[in-house]
A and B are shown apart, each in its own frame.
Chain A
């Protein structure tokens, strides 16, 4: 019995070490050829439906966001604030920020009626591994509000846009 316990103990102690030795090392980062500067991702079917909302009709909303340049500044501001935000910086630490900025700009442009195509993954797939909580989404919305405010987007117009994003909550918040 004692011998059994000792063997069991040794096996338990050694197992993690052995397992670590046997574990395959993480795959080396593969850069995307389609989007220089981004990490390659597993292939998926692309669709504007993945943007998670129907676009506004006409271009008034896109213009209120100051077009491509304005949306670019808002997304850059949103990402910069979120990376520096102690509440949610952990979620962004492992993200490919280059790809995130590009796909967010596409998504915002598409939803705002700017005529862009969205090439990112759908909201559920994009957030599946993040483990975001409701408070994380709240923090992200606050950062987006700040970025829109900085761009001079009127508050009522901000809310029209947020109303398109808000229903994505069940796909974004996974725990």
Chain B
């Protein structure tokens, strides 16, 4: 506020454009350095943490993006509101009769607009691996990089309308067992899912409803590769969640997720779970679920406990 008038004087008609005195040169240097630094920082929006209400950023889904456990929501992860950032780390474990599923990952929410997530999934066949001819303890590993962008709406605050929060996203998935995938009829060891998600908290009813359509050709979300001998195209699949808020830090609900059925050697079932998510505070939450993942690689009735731990802000 002190130096800009020097510029305006210098630009005034009839005045020399050339700074004629050390003072003017010093002033010009200082005033040029200030705005450049200011412009760089102006470009980065203000960033506070912790602006959202408890649990309204959702929890980490098995694919790393913010949502329920097996379904993706339109919310951006973490507790950063429009003026802030949030992030979390998650570790998820599903204990199934014939397999173990593990996922670890990180997600960042930027100004409640963009979410970027990474996740590594391990699908451990344990003793079942020997029965499948893969070897005991054979493990499929899948890496997922996800991006989600909020398009419109406010899931929490727009309680005077039916308009949900809507987001679009993509997940780039890569599986490390290309040879096995090819051997069982899978088409690819890499795949990309795209989705549109709509999430609404009916605040007056303490009820959360979320739905998503995902275009995917992933077998068992990609744990058994992408595409197959039956079908290789991206097909729309549905993911739905309902949740009832029992208190500000406890939500219970159920989820449903349809899946493609691309592989001839093993039919694939829809996934369903009932869950409870408990936030100790804005830095630690636990989600427990009873998940029914149906038939996986010819082993039927894969039902078991889902446990997920999250730390973040």
Which A residues contact B (CB, under 8 angstroms)?
A: 1-2, 4-6, 8-9, 12, 133-136, 138-139, 141-142, 145, 149, 155-156, 159-160, 162-164, 166-167, 169, 173, 175
Contact = CB atoms under 8 A, between A and B. Distances in A.
Nearest to B46: A133
14 contacts: A1-B16, A2-B21, A5-B24, A6-B21, A133-B46, A134-B112, A135-B84, A141-B53, A155-B245, A159-B245, A163-B159, A163-B160, A166-B159, A167-B161
Contact of B247 (A136, A155, A167, A173): A155
A162 B204 CA distance: 7
A119 B6 CA distance: 50
A12 B204 contact: no
A4 B24 CA distance: 10
Contacts of A159: 203-206, 245
Interface string B5-18: 11001000000100
A141 B159 CA distance: 14
Contact of A160 (B156, B161, B204): B204
B158 A166 contact: yes
Contacts of A155: 206, 245-248
Contacts of A142: 53
A12 B9 CA distance: 11
Contacts of A149: 248
A8 B6 contact: yes
Contact of B206 (A4, A156, A173): A156
Contacts of A138: 50-53, 81
Sort chain B's interface into a size bin: 35 or more
A12 B2 contact: yes
Contacts of B52: 138
B238 to A, nearest CB: 28
A8 B9 contact: yes
B157 A145 contact: no
| B2, B9, B83, B112: most-surrounded residue (chain A CB, <10 A) | B83
Nearest to B48: A135
Given A8-B6, A159-B204, A159-B206, A167 B23 contact: no
B20 interface: yes
Nearest to A173: B82
B24 A135 contact: no
B154 interface: yes
Given A1-B21, A2-B20, A134-B81, A166 B51 contact: no
Nearest to B161: A167
Contacts of B157: 166-167, 169
A134 B112 CA distance: 10
B203 A162 contact: yes
B53 to A, nearest CB: 6
A138 B50 CA distance: 8
Contacts of B6: 8, 12
A8 B7 CA distance: 11
Given A5-B24, A169-B154, 14 more contacts: A1-B16, A1-B21, A8-B5, A12-B5, A133-B51, A134-B51, A135-B51, A141-B53, A149-B248, A155-B247, A163-B203, A166-B159, A166-B160, A175-B83
| A9, A138, A160: most-surrounded residue (chain B CB, <10 A) | A138
The 4 closest A-B pairs by CB, nearest first: A135-B51, A163-B204, A1-B20, A134-B81
Nearest to A11: B5
Contacts of B205: 159
A4 B20 CA distance: 10
Contacts of A1: 16, 20-21
A31 B23 CA distance: 51
Contacts of B48: 133, 135
Nearest to B23: A5
A134 B245 CA distance: 22
Contact of B82 (A134, A141, A156, A167): A134
Contacts of B46: 133
